[in-house]
Amino acid sequence: MKNVLFIFLLGLIIGMSSKDTMAAQEGTISVTATSSNGENTAPLFDKNFYGRMTFKPGDSLTITSSEIMYGIYLEWHFVPSEYEVKYNDKITKGGSNSFLHEYLEFPEGTREVVLTFSEECHLADIYGYGEGEIPASVQRWEPMLDKADMLVLTTHADDEVLFLGGALVEYAGERKLDVQVIYFFDYTPTWKVREHEKLNGLWEMGVRNYPDCGGYKEQSVNGLDHTMQIYEYPKALGWLVERIRKYKPQICVTQDVKGEYGQPHHQMVVKMMMDAVNITADETQYTDSVELHGTHDVAKTYLHLWKENAIKLDTRKPLESFGGRTAYEVCCEAYKKHESQQEFWFYVSDDNEYSMADYGLYRTTVGIDTGNDMMENIISYKR
């Protein structure tokens, strides 16, 4: 019966003109979208990252509501270029931060917003929000950091949950430290939905600064040596050195030197971190990034499952920032956001051989830990 009803409603939506209205999910208000190019705007309300509209330079999209809008949430198919936002005779800019998921706020409220595009843009979904508290699921990203208390380097989308989630939930979500996540792989050219999934998972774990996506395309490899050849290891290492010098983290965290389950991409990324933290303070190494950002010496570097100077985060304590949920429970929910990966064998654990609670101090300039806190002997930049 549900399938029949869904098909009926979908047919009704598709049959509408370019002016389409849909009551959004709970916490949103109903909005209408009209495109200047005359195309049907139903894909903007299907809650599906694959459905989208393409706007050419000069096209505009008018979003209206019978209720006062205080914000709209835009999920782009590709990261947009900068575009014009007009409401209440005011003109601002959208797309300036290159966010794939973007929230536009209208403090005085409005019933009409016009987006005008100067370059080609691809928009997947729109949600409108009225007066009252914005649902926690709406992602209002902050820009990437200038200085990070902690830099978390992950290889693929979902590795940050499965293997590094304990650190992310504790330090970004619960303690509200400045945590910058960096991904080696960007799936925009190959498997775009994973770019959306990574944002949804990070947001669930309490990360609020937009991730830095490396731009590397995932390719099939055969062992570590082949991986280093495919990705031109010296060049890839320079990429990481530049980012460490840019974000100046006090702590770096990354995956397991063995690649958790022997995954060569993971192994190379960890090798990159181990090599990088030993040369970022050397002004004679990768001099281009020295000119851009200066040198930087990371105080502490942790590796997932590293046996020396090992620590185990408490991922079963109730966390105030998550309404009493534990880090384990939060990570389980975050992994569900990676919908495309649910068919595989991976699962979140804090007590199996890939436990996201277990790390070891690989390198330190501030002494060995005496407890299970990565921030031991570190003062945050805000403090």
d(CA 374, CA 251): 8
- Of 77, 16, 60, 24, the C-alpha closest to 42 is 16
- Of 266, 268, 233, the C-alpha closest to 155 is 266
Using alpha carbons only, what angle is made at residue 222 by residues 155 and 226, rounded to the nearest 5 degrees? 80
Q: 48: which DSSP letter?
A: -
Tokens encoding 375:
């921030």
- Which position has the token pair 């330079």? 57
- Of 201, 209, 141, the C-alpha closest to 181 is 209
Tell me the pTM: 0.92
How far, in Å, are 17, 47, 92, 333 from residue 22 at the CA level?
13, 11, 26, 28
- Which position has the token pair 């959208």? 94
Judge whether 147 and 299 are in contact, CB under 8 Å.
no
What pLDDT score was predicted for residue 5? 38
Sequence-ordered strand ranges (E) for the chain: 20-22, 31-35, 53-55, 60-76, 83-87, 90-94, 101-117, 121-129, 150-154, 179-185, 212-216, 251-254, 300-304, 310-312, 358-364
Q: What is the pLDDT along the chain (383 residues), one digit of tens a residue?
A: 334 333 333 343 333 333 333 333 446 899 999 999 999 999 999 999 889 999 999 999 999 999 999 999 999 999 999 999 999 999 999 999 999 999 999 999 999 999 999 999 999 999 999 998 899 999 999 999 999 999 999 999 999 999 999 999 999 999 999 999 999 999 999 999 999 999 999 999 999 999 999 889 999 999 999 999 999 999 999 999 999 999 999 999 999 999 999 999 999 999 999 999 999 999 999 999 999 999 999 999 999 999 999 999 999 999 999 999 999 999 999 999 999 999 999 999 999 999 999 999 999 999 999 999 999 999 999 99
Tokens encoding 235:
């060049």
What pLDDT score was predicted for residue 279? 98
What pLDDT score was predicted for residue 132? 87
Q: 209: which DSSP letter?
A: B
What pLDDT score was predicted for residue 27? 60
- Of 27, 138, 132, 17, the C-alpha closest to 74 is 138
- Residue 174: CB atoms within 10 A of its CB come to 18
